[in-house]
Amino acid sequence: MHSTSKVICQMPPMTIETHHDLIEEMLTPWAGAIGEDYRGYKGHVYRMFNFCLALHPCTEEEKTKLAIAACFHDMGLWPDRTLDYLPASISHAAQYLSDSGRVEWSEEMALMIGMHHKVRAYPDRRYPLVEVFRKGDLVDVSLGLLSCGIPRSYITDVKNHFPNHGFHTFLLKTGRAWVSRHPFNPAPFMRW
């Protein structure tokens, strides 16, 4: 009689990016414009950045693209003071790309930011980071209820490392203000 052993495959431990020089460099100049929501937004940026990295093994270039998109994806909410913030956020990202000599990433970055609230999956496979970015934001905005395949223990660890600091409360207040003024219209940032 011979014994059979069961091989259990385990994922390697997932690390948390606790500090990213480019994210710090890009976000810091916006602290004044974002005001009291800065710590909350910065935590959101880092959480979704980490969730994106957990969803997709990245090259250094892809990691840089995700960091840029994470910093600018909701930016239009504050300096532009609009709930129709996606065009403003894309514009701020485009300016950064131009200033940093990365203008060739503009189309992909505009899609990453413009489609990050798309309800259904982004179908164009030319730019896989668009869907990765959409899912990374979805994991954080849902407070991890929608995991998109990321281990729940990792989501919890990331959330513990980067506290919310009122970010989701800000989202609820902002959304509630839109619904009270436009009860029959979806928010302008939603995409089907």
Ordered structural domains, the chain, with CATH: 21-181 (1.10.3210)
Q: How far apart, in whole angstroms, are the C-alpha atoms of residue 157 and residue 107?
A: 33
- What average pLDDT does the chain have? 86
> Which region among 4-8, 24-28, 114-118 has the lowest average model confidence (pLDDT)?
4-8
| 12, 154 Cβ separation under 8 angstroms | no
Say what the pLDDT of residue 110 is. Answer: 97
More confident residue, 142 or 85: 142
Q: What is the DSSP string of the chain?
A: ----------PPPPP-----HHHHHHHGGGHHHHGGGHHHHHHHHHHHHHHHHHHS---HHHHHHHHHHHHHTTGGGTTT--S--HHHHHHHHHHHHHHTT-GGGHHHHHHHHHTTTBSSPP--TT-HHHHHHHHHHHHHHTTTSS-TT--HHHHHHHHHHS--TTHHHHHHHHHHHHHHH-TTS--TT-B-
What value does the mean pLDDT take over residues 130-148? Answer: 96
**Structure confidence at residue 4 as a pLDDT band (50, 70, 90):** very low
> Which region among 11-15, 82-86, 90-94, 152-156 has the lowest average model confidence (pLDDT)?
11-15
Say what the pLDDT of residue 1 is. Answer: 46
71-91: pLDDT as tens digits? 999 998 888 777 678 899 999
166-183: pLDDT as tens digits? 887 876 676 555 555 555
Could you tell me the pTM of the whole model? 0.85
Say what the pLDDT of residue 119 is. Answer: 84
